[in-house]
Structure 1
């Protein structure tokens, strides 16, 4: 997918980010039977606030925003979240490219490891993260037959 451009996320991307996020997370809501999950109920103002100081990246196909990943540095840890790919673009490698780009931004900001989480029923997400070097670090039972699965990856070895 060479016609995809990856660039740092901007506050001005908030509207398009929210649109892609909602479209992408409908599938997750169906998997978990939860139409009120946070990515679907988040407001534009909340997204704008989150993007003010964010190491995230967006993927563009021509001028259309087709993917997004958010991330913030917490000391030496890059906290990665809300990875969303437009449904018609999923399976094209955009998620991998976004994660690699945000990991590089994390390294440049002094992060030595990245952490993210997903739900236990999101098997495609878990498989993608494991392919990219993430390893499960914790699983928290949600009491409904599902769990939050936390994964981590070393970005830079201690020197």
Structure 2
């Protein structure tokens, strides 16, 4: 399968050998999320290295600035639906379009026509991104008091997803 982000941009598939660096990125990115909820027990912050290695058996894509992993996204296919998760961008690289580029890349690489993801109810930036990309809210789920997940879905077409994804030059 052709890589959804043009060559030479510092992007590549991630695997179990990348778990340590990815865990570091994930914790940095989710630290700001934890502040929104005043809860350091968010699953992304409590995930173990071994759990993350196992999760990397599913597809994952990373963007690199030099040798530094600055953004990543993971997904799995479930009954024809691409379940996109853990879209993370390093705090010092947020707002540059990397999250949008990776979301589009995951959609394209998945080959799916239907996409699903979730984010926290107070994660307004994430909700704006997903809704701007055509996702619609379908339900809410209480994770624990004070933390709710907003589930979003999107129907897509391969023709729309087939266009190359441009990675911002700020990488």
Asked if TM exceeds 0.5, the reply is yes
Pairing 1:1-159 to 2, within 5 Å after superposition: 4-52=9-57, 54-107=58-111, 111-142=112-143, 144-156=145-157
Matches of 1:4 and 1:63 in 2, distance apart? 12
Which structure would you say has the larger RCO, counting Cα contacts within 8 Å and 6 or more residues apart? 2
Count of aligned positions = 152
User: Cα RMSD over matched residues?
Assistant: 1.8
**Structure 1-normalised TM-score?**
0.88
Query: In 2, distance between residues paired with 1:55 and 1:104?
Result: 12
> Deviation above 4 Å: which 4+ runs of structure 1?
none
Instruction: Structure 2: state its 5+ residue gaps.
Output: 1-5, 159-171
User: Aligned-pair distance for 1:75?
Assistant: 1.8
SS of equivalent residue, structure 2 residue 10: strand
Q: CA deviation at 1:147?
A: 2.6
Three-state SS of the structure 1 residue aligned to 2:25 is: helix
TM-score by length of 2: 0.82
Q: In 1, Cα distance between the equivalents of 2:68 and 2:146?
A: 37
Q: Is the 8 A contact 2:25 2:70 kept in 1?
A: yes
Cα drift, residue 60 of structure 1: 0.9
